[in-house]
Amino acid sequence: MAKQPDPARRSQRSRQAILTAARELITEMGYAKLSIEAIAARAGVGKQTIYRWWPSKGAVVLDAFLALSEAGPEQDMALPDTGDLEADLKVVMRATVAEFADPAFEAPIRALNTEIINDPALAAQYQEKLAGPVDEAKKERLRSAQRAGQLAAGADLDLALELLYAPLYQRWLLRSGPLTPQYADALVDAFLKAMGPDIDASTH
């Protein structure tokens, strides 16, 4: 049989080119000026190719981020579990604070958040594809702490994650305060007081 271009493989190549173009352009020009036209031109495809797979600019950007996280091994989502909840959370929160304070992450993450805030359908996609699995990995660590008696057995884990992460998210989003390692530690300390084992029920 004659060699023919493989349509599935070509599709995959176009898809990758589009996602790479979206990531590059968002860093270069910011989200507001980013257009489907610019992504198509950079990726060397037609606009219709993009619209066949994605309904909006926001949807392309979300998938561009998802492709990044899919590149790493599945275990990357898991939180460290040395048996010491406080120490593990301080490592994680210090790293998270440093990431949010990094100018290289600033533009694309802020752009993605702006889209999610204003597009309920994209918010649902983000929740299902990215935030949901990440939160589930974090809850696994909290359940381990519950089994070890380091966290209240009846703690609401959705509320627990919000207490730990939402103050940092808000401070970053509104630029309302400094993002420092001390702040990360203070968040973990407050979290542990709020969600720690009840004193009567504790076996430690």
Residues at the site binding its own copies, with contacts judged by CB under 8 A: 32, 110, 113-114, 116-118, 120, 123-124, 126-127, 131, 156, 158-159, 162-163, 165-167, 169-171, 173-177, 183, 186-187, 190-191, 193-196, 199
Rounded distance, CA 172 to CA 181, Å?
14
Q: Which is nearer to its own copies, 149 or 167 (CB)?
A: 167
CB of 148 to its own copies, least distance (A): 19
CB of 185 to its own copies, least distance (A): 11
CB of 78 to its own copies, least distance (A): 21
CB of 195 to its own copies, least distance (A): 7
Q: Which is nearer to its own copies, 60 or 168 (CB)?
A: 168
CB of 111 to its own copies, least distance (A): 9
Q: Which is nearer to its own copies, 45 or 85 (CB)?
A: 85
Full 3-state SS string of 102-155: CHHHHHHHHHHHHHHHHCHHHHHHHHHHHHHHHHHHHHHHHHHHHHCCCCCCCC
CB-CB neighbours of 43 under 10 Å: 22
Q: Which is nearer to its own copies, 81 or 128 (CB)?
A: 128
Closest CA to 183 of 168, 163, 196: 168
Q: Which is nearer to its own copies, 20 or 113 (CB)?
A: 113
Residue 85, burial from CB neighbour count under 10 angstroms (0-12, 13-18, 19+): buried
DSSP for residue 175: T
Residue 34, burial from CB neighbour count under 10 angstroms (0-12, 13-18, 19+): buried
